[in-house]
Structure 1
Amino acid sequence: MHQRSGILAMGDKSLLMPETDEYLARLGEQCGGFALQCSDVAGFVTQVNQRIEDDHGRLETLRHNVAHLLLLQSEANDAAAEIRHVAYRATGLITDSHGVVVDALGEIGGLIDDVVRMGDELEGFTQAIEHVAAVSGQLDAIARQTGMLAINASIEAARAGTAVSGFAAVASEVKRLAGSAREATASVRGGIERLAGSARRVVGDMRSGAERGRAARSRTGEITGALERIAALVVQFDQRSAAIEHAGMHVTRHVDTLDAGLGSFIQRGTENAAELARTRGRLDELELASNRMLDQVAHSGIATPDRRFIDMAREGADHVGAAIRRALDEGGLKEADLFDTAYRAVADSDPPQFLTGFVPFADRVIRPLLDVATARDAAIVGCCLVDRNGHLPTHIAARSHVQRPGDRRWNLENARNRQIFMDRQTRDALDRDGDWFLYTYRQDLGDGRYRPLRSVFVPLHFAGRRWGCYELGYLI
């Protein structure tokens, strides 16, 4: 059928029957519809594949986090085991220390009792000293009275004369002994007073220490209770540490299971993505084959709904080509600027836009021609130029607005000039040799938005070199 149609197309087309023309026209439309369906399914597969790849990346991140969690959990388990070991040792130390402290507190209590007893004894000693001091005072009084009697005896002896000379000698000796007794009594009394003062001070200190000792002893019970409570807390801490360690072991097992499941899921996701990629490749082949059939039917010369758009595309390409050649001849455009591929990014553009030496001329001279060609039919969505790398130096005025900062969605639709677009159809048209090419496909509007479109690509050549294509897109 294809060979027969091609022969008739190059020969006498009048030999084709009207029914055959209609059949071929319908076949061409069916091929275009099939190509669009393939493109639609391929687009869906691409979205699914992209989601799988995104999920794969997130799963890899999650698995990395799980591995990090597993490491942290292992460290936590080790820390819990170490804490439990420390708690166990602390329990033993507190148990051992409790007995030592109790014994020490008992000894301290005995020492306090000794201090209290010594204070009581010192109080008795002080009382004895005070009694001695009182006796010393009495002796001193006796000595004074004896001295007075000796004086009186001496006076009486002097009156009696020599007859009582012996009595006078005795009185004199008694007087001397009374003086010595008074001196000794005064010395003893001074020592006793000093000893009594020291004793009173020691007793005061002992009383103060005894009071503090009694207060301290009353708190030994509190210390013992505090030690018992600390021991209970350490035991409870040991029990909680054991529970944490046990729970950590369970968590580790669950994390291991989760990690294994994630690994298996990632592996299946990778396999599914690879299978979808192969399916996408087969769909691309089917889409390309359908578009080739659509293009062949369109080239057969049969009157189809695409014919007028093909003619308008070729006419528009002729006008653009003529304008560029005239500028090259007259010096209004340099060949180096026309073929400039040193794309210079426009600062802060989103999506990215790029400038070349051809852009100013294209905006000034080519854009008006594109606007005129687009206005010829309401079904035409736009005409543009595409260089061999997919760069659009200019576009129609409705698609060449200045970008709005931060409004990517609006920019994708209204500032399509100076961007780089490269889909399968554009790449195929740029790589093929021919007078023109017809494709049905889904136009990417960005952010996952598409619309069915049919485009005619007309190759452009200048100075013996392939520059790119003139494209006319229209709604089906």
Structure 2
Amino acid sequence: MSNQPQFSENTHTDRLTEAAAALGYEIVDIAGFLDLVEEHAHAQRKGLDVLDARATDMVRANSDMREAVQTMAENTGETSQDVKSSAQLVRSTGDKTRNVAEWVQSLAERTASISDTLSAVKSNNQQIASIAMQVNTLAINAKIEAARAGEAGRGFAVVAEAINSLSQKTRGAAVEISDNIETLTEWIAVLGKESSGVASEAAHVLENAGGTDDALGRIEASIVSANTQAQRISEETDRMQTAMQDFTPALQSIGSAVKSTTAGIEKTHKRVLNLIDTSETIVQSTAMLGGASVDTPFIQRVQSIAHDLSQQMAAAVDSGEISMSQLFDQNYKLVPGSNPEQYLTSFTNLIDGLLPPLQEPVLDIDAKVVFCAAVDRNGYLPTHNRKFSHPPSKDPVWNMANCRNRRIFDDRVGLKAGQNTEPFLLQVYRRDMGGGAFKMMKDLSAPIVVRGKHWGGLRLAYTF
């Protein structure tokens, strides 16, 4: 008798079902990781594209700067030569200006000396005029005495007349000299005032001459320093140009590698998504073969609710409460001011009335159940569980978690749930919990069919 354990067909099917579910879990977890890797790869690729563009801009800008600096170096070199020549010219002019200033100051001193001499001459001339007047008086007296002496005094009269005539001429010359001295004195006085002003300015020029020389020296030194720095900048831009020329090919090589890696990740991601579809098919097939698993009670429950909802929707059409065209309306009208966006259709009110009595009790069958809701073929979810159907607030973050009714969930899981026509569809996905945390979830759905026409699917989500 064989010691090998004996397994029934159902046992093998159950083990296959569990293995398929475990495989689906692992594949979805890997797919989620690839989602992040692909997202990061795309972000890196975009970053590298921007970096490559900026590097190209830097090379171009550095080239322009290099040309500008070289031009500046040439200009500062020419300017340095011009400044040196100008400084020499200004210094030469300054030397001549100082000589003129010194001459003007000496002229002012000599003018003052001339004024003193003229004053002395004027005083002497006044003495001469006074003596001439005295001589004239004496001559007049001599003529009077000669007239009294008669014939004997005739010779004296002639002499006295000559002396009188000479004194008159001397007095006239003295007056004329006095007038000329007055005119010359006035002219010398005016010249003295002007030369005094010019001498003051000349003194100011002499005082500032040293400062001007110092300023010219500083200007010359600054221009020489600027020229030296421009030469250094030109050398540094040459070095930067060489570095950028080496950097750009390396960056382009990295960019090519990232692009190649990103393309490989995208292909791998697509293949993993195909694996998810395959694992879902395996789970469904094993379940249909009679394999029992932890999902079996949920499968039976979601199929039952989907069947009941299909019948109630058909009854509403039969009673005239809604038409088939209204029931399958895809004209989603945006609710004004909603954030995230919510929509209304012709069948929203009908589902609001039919679904709560069917979906709310499901939340109590197991603590792992997160939600139960129906979506149409486009992922539109008109009526959610009450805990996810609060009136919207002004906070979009709060609304995102608490106002999930009347939203369109057209992600991969939502669309597949709404478009599946198999007896059921079991999907595994990672639910984003925020802050980089994820939680593995199962999304079980069954098709909703009204009068033979596929409307959508009933979704039942629960944790592992």
TM-score, L = length of structure 1: 0.87
1:73 paired with 2:62, answer: yes
Deviation at 1:50, TM superposition (A): 0.5
Please point out which of 294, 314, 318 is paired with 2:303: 314
Please point out which of 439, 444, 456 is paired with 1:468: 456
1:121/1:271 CA distance change after superposition, 3 Å: same
C-alpha distance after superposition, 1:341-395 (max 9, x if no partner):
2223344544433332222332233233211333334333221111111111111
- Contact 1:383 1:395 survives alignment (8 Å): yes
1:126/1:429 CA distance change after superposition, 3 Å: closer
- Contact 1:368 1:396 survives alignment (8 Å): no
- Contact 1:32 1:439 survives alignment (8 Å): no
1:452 paired with 2:457, answer: no
| CA distance in 2 between partners of 1:310 and 1:358 (Å) | 26
Give runs of aligned pairs for residues 183-332 of structure 1, distance below 5 A.
183-332=172-321
Report the equivalent of 2:348: 359
TM-score, L = length of structure 2: 0.89
Give runs of aligned pairs for residues 14-413 of structure 1, distance below 5 A.
19-161=8-150, 164-165=153-154, 167-168=156-157, 170-172=159-161, 174-408=163-397, 410-413=398-401
Identical positions, percent: 26
Q: Which sits farther off after the overlay, 375-384 or 42-51?
A: 375-384
- Contact 1:70 1:255 survives alignment (8 Å): yes
Structure 1, unaligned runs of 5 or more: 1-16
C-alpha distance after superposition, 1:74-121 (max 9, x if no partner):
232223222211211121012212222222122223323433444444
Secondary structure, aligned partner of 1:138: helix
- Contact 1:412 1:445 survives alignment (8 Å): no
Secondary structure, aligned partner of 1:332: coil
Secondary structure, aligned partner of 1:461: strand
1:251/1:356 CA distance change after superposition, 3 Å: farther
| CA distance in 1 between partners of 2:146 and 2:163 (Å) | 13
CA RMSD of aligned residues (A): 2.6
Secondary structure, aligned partner of 2:120: helix
- Contact 2:427 2:444 survives alignment (8 Å): no
C-alpha distance after superposition, 1:380-417 (max 9, x if no partner):
32211111111111111122223443352x44443322
- Contact 1:413 1:445 survives alignment (8 Å): no
Query: How many aligned residue pairs are there?
Result: 458
- Contact 1:374 1:383 survives alignment (8 Å): yes
Structure 2, unaligned runs of 5 or more: 1-5
Deviation at 1:33, TM superposition (A): 1.2
- Contact 1:150 1:171 survives alignment (8 Å): yes
1:340/1:254 CA distance change after superposition, 3 Å: farther
Q: Which sits farther off after the overlay, 456-465 or 89-98?
A: 456-465
Report the equivalent of 2:3: none
| CA distance in 2 between partners of 1:279 and 1:46 (Å) | 10
1:354/1:65 CA distance change after superposition, 3 Å: farther
